[in-house]
Structure 1
């Protein structure tokens, strides 16, 4: 499934964002983010969880990137979607202008099963999003406890990623600890890691979701000016 969110007709499109969800998620989970980015005149295409069928996900990303969609082109992934986006770019399977990686899971994970309320606690602090996940019949409960495919972490080689990367990570992420991902982002040739206070694993759908969207838009606006991400704002002393 691919869900599309387009720029308002009175605004020229400013770029394209292809979204890869995380474990258990379907495309509808990112409606809120898609609407917000499209309101700022970015075209958004949301796919399903790539762990369900990596080959199909790869084909879908390639097909979208060959469509007549405005640049810059950015892959945005959450959880294993972030890992998959990173490996696609590191292996030159697809060519994009930038990456946004949220809740990147790059450390070994013990497989376990917790009840639904515990899973919600790990995923998100947002009451609205918790209710949405609880009501989503396409959502796969328990998928979060299955470790990512064993070769994905090695293939998502930070040193091999040639494009600017924005990382977004929750300070309170209990599944992929912030301290554990700092080293991965430090190996990028051109990367930034933003931490969001009071945020659990799904850094795009916590109570800080507005801040996450704003951080993404700021990255996209800088990317439009060049791959060196020119500074567009400064805090000046009063």
Structure 2
């Protein structure tokens, strides 16, 4: 019923997204075939483009769930076109997450699409809208790790395997960070509808600083170590070893050179 009020043009996939998807496919092919002179360049383009695709799908999941929950305004705002330029904060949604991947190899959660919450009724719907984004990262991680936990790596080139492992690491870190019940992150959006009005009013001013707080905490060695121990445990349960993610990260940052351990097929 709600989708009937959205113009067809508001749901048409953006050429910008299709262009990013095309870069992902071509770079993935180059990483698979070894076509590029610099394998790391192909891996860099593949992982970066695929990461942007996942960010677009993350925000789309929020918007699509909101649409079916009663907020038909997401169509006019361009959120259903998968165009990252339509987000309310393109810097937070795309630029910063990509920079953090390049600098530190961590899937920083982005934001944001603006959902008109007043149009939506029911606490479960509000929670589902917030959960839809990080659940997309979980699904993306499952796809990236499928060759590992299905034991279907025969014939998969080494560089492409490492690229998938690193991309999976980004998705797992993004999912875990997004699900933290910290104001400003999706995890808090999941629990917020179930909190009292008084608590929500007290916490609301902290929302703009939630992501900065998480980032600051990750600079504490003990917390950083615990966080990545959790990430590594999740990846190992999905069949991805430490060498896969390490070499994927090193290959992605090709300008630093490749470690000798990554030059031998596992």
TM-score, L = length of structure 2:
0.25
Structure with the higher helix share, 1 or 2: 2
Structure with the higher strand share, 1 or 2: 1
